[in-house]
């Protein structure tokens, strides 16, 4: 691991312990060249995943992109970061343990929709509006109907 301070390749691990409910390993490191101390988080990757887009194009699976999707959908929503991390890790584990090296982007989207539905209704609707390519207000009404939003008291006309 490269030192973030002096860029030396020769860093030493001083302490390792599980992090994020065992999904990652937290390592405290020290650089013998400059004395800098820093922490890394290393994740176990079961297999290399490839996402197959609707166009047929293939791209390597990117956990950070998955995390950004959650962050965008949940922006300004009061959801604990630990719950978001668990949801992202759960999706990654599901995909990795499926036994398939390639996964359809629609499957990743479906898993994100399921996770967001259990985390926050507003984030679910935000993500669904992009994922399902909503074009009219009626599309939102149908989705809200699925959430049980129809017929609530106090609906504005």
pLDDT, tens digit (0-9, with 9 covering 90-100), for 10-27: 899 998 888 766 667 889
Q: Which two tokens stand for residue 73?
A: 């959908």
pLDDT at residue 152 tops 60: no
> Which pLDDT value is given to residue 151?
40
Q: What's the mean pLDDT when you consider all of the chain?
A: 85
Q: What is the pLDDT of residues 27-54, one digit of tens each?
A: 999 999 999 999 988 876 656 899 999 9
Distances (CA, A) of 138 to 15, 40, 127, 144, 155: 55, 47, 16, 10, 16
d(CA 33, CA 36): 8
Q: Quickly count: other Cβ atoms within 10 Å of residue 62's Cβ.
A: 11
């Amino acid at each position: 691991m490269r030192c973030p301070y002096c860029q030396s390749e020769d860093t030493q691990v001083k302490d390792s312990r599980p992090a994020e409910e065992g999904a990652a390993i937290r390592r405290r490191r020290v650089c013998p060249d400059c004395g800098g101390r820093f922490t890394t988080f290393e994740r176990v990757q079961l297999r290399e995943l490839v996402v197959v887009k609707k166009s047929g194009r293939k791209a390597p699976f990117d956990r950070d992109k998955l995390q950004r999707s959650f962050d965008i959908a949940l922006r300004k929503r009061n959801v604990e970061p630990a719950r978001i991390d668990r949801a992202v890790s759960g999706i990654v584990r599901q995909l990795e343990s499926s036994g398939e090296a390639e996964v359809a982007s629609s499957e990743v989207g479906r898993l994100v929709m399921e996770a967001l539905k259990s985390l926050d209704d507003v984030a679910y609707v935000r993500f669904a509006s992009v994922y399902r390519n909503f074009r009219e207000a009626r599309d939102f009404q149908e989705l809200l109907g699925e959430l049980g939003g129809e017929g609530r008291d106090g609906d504005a006309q």
